[in-house]
Amino acid sequence: MKKILVLSVALVAVIAMMGVGTWAYFNDVATVEDNTITAGTLELDVNNGSGGSPVAISIGGTRTDGNGTGLQPGDIDTQESDWTIENTGSLDGILAIKIPATSFRDLENIASSLETDTAVGDDASVPGTSTADGTTSTLIDTALTGADDAYNGMTLYITSGTNIGESRTITDYDATSYTVTVSPAFDSAIASGVTYSIDEDGELGDMVQVAIWFDQGTSNTWDASDYALLSTKTVTEDANADGILTYTEDDGTGAASVEGVPDAAFDTLTDYLGVEWDDVGDIEAGSEMTLDLMVSYNFPDAGGTDIFTLNPDNIAQSDSCEFDVNFALIQNNATP
């Protein structure tokens, strides 16, 4: 019995010792260093095909018929601008285009004695420089001479500083404090020393019909390889949800006589403002797209047969429009 008790005590001691620690398997360790995750790039460049700045659209210069300069009612023609879009990044991209509403200026200029819109005086563009710090929605210029509310409804266009190129509608003018209030607010406050102009909206942008299209066949006429940017994104037989109108034949009426471009492609210039075309074409990494940009225009005649009575179209005499064209390169979300 004594031996059995001694063995039992010894066995318990061994089991207790085994519970003190856990023995591991044999092993070894190795490391793979410098693992990386790298993002690609989208790099967009717009040029004239030779590395220089793109030539801006210009309609209304010296007339090809020799009758002076500028548009007149009844004009129908097309202006061409060749732009090269380069993707110098490492990722394939999709080209998007927009005419930002904030860049648009429909300038009223009533210097002509036949201009029938005479609300503001001989020149409805008031340039100036802010004389004190304002806010994102106010500009202060002690040189302004208008009475209270004199500039209400006009457009404030910023020509320098952080908001350069942007415009807003004037909702109030306080002649006592020389403060112009706009809506919506600018992105940044308008500091002292910022140059600007106050413009009464003209009528030309609402009168001229334009079609913005790409002459991919380089034939200078509308053909099967061409497509147009529509002012609306209504899906039809020939237009997709991105507002792209593919080739459809001229129906032989109205503005369609311009280079064979169909009537469905035409709208007033102001109707294109703020529209985004998100899928104009694919541009692979390291490649380029040449856009033969065509702007066909039709300045319809409002009529009027009595030459001794002012024609309704006179409200657009000497007016002008300015606008930007924005390009964006968007990543292609196709499965890699």
Q: What is the pLDDT of residue 105?
A: 76
CA distance 197 to 101: 17
Residue 137: its pLDDT value, please? 95
Between CA 289 and CA 142 the distance in angstroms is 49
178 vs 147: CA distance, rounded Å? 9
pLDDT of residue 121: 40
Residue 153, Cα to own-chain centre: how many angstroms?
Answer: 23
Structure tokens at 237: 């037989």
The answer, yes or no, to whether residue 196 has pLDDT greater than 60, is yes
Averaged pLDDT of the chain: 80
Helix (H, G, I), strand (E, B) or coil at 76: strand
Within 8 A by CB and 6+ apart from 162, the residues are: 187, 188
Q: According to the model, what pLDDT value does residue 86 have?
A: 92
* Residue 166 in this model has a pLDDT that exceeds 90: no
Q: What is the pLDDT of residue 18?
A: 52
Core vs surface per residue 234-263: b (16+ CB within 10 A) or e? eeeebbeebbbbebbebeeeebbebbbbbb
Interval 243-279: pLDDT, tens: 888 877 655 555 545 778 888 888 988 899 888 898 8
Distance of CA 149 to the CA centre of its chain: 31
Length of the chain measured in residues? 336
Closest CA to 48 of 40, 60, 57: 57
Between 131 and 121, the higher pLDDT residue: 131
- Beta-carbon contacts of 262 under 8 Å, excluding residues fewer than 6 positions away, are 222, 245, 248, 249, 250, 251, 256
* Residue 123: pLDDT over 50: no
Q: Average of pLDDT values for 177-197?
A: 93
Delimit the domains of the chain by residue range: 44-100+204-318+325-331, 125-199
Choice between 236 and 79, residue whose per-residue pLDDT is larger = 79
Highest mean pLDDT among 37-41, 78-82, 300-304: 37-41
CB 236 within 8 A of CB 228: no
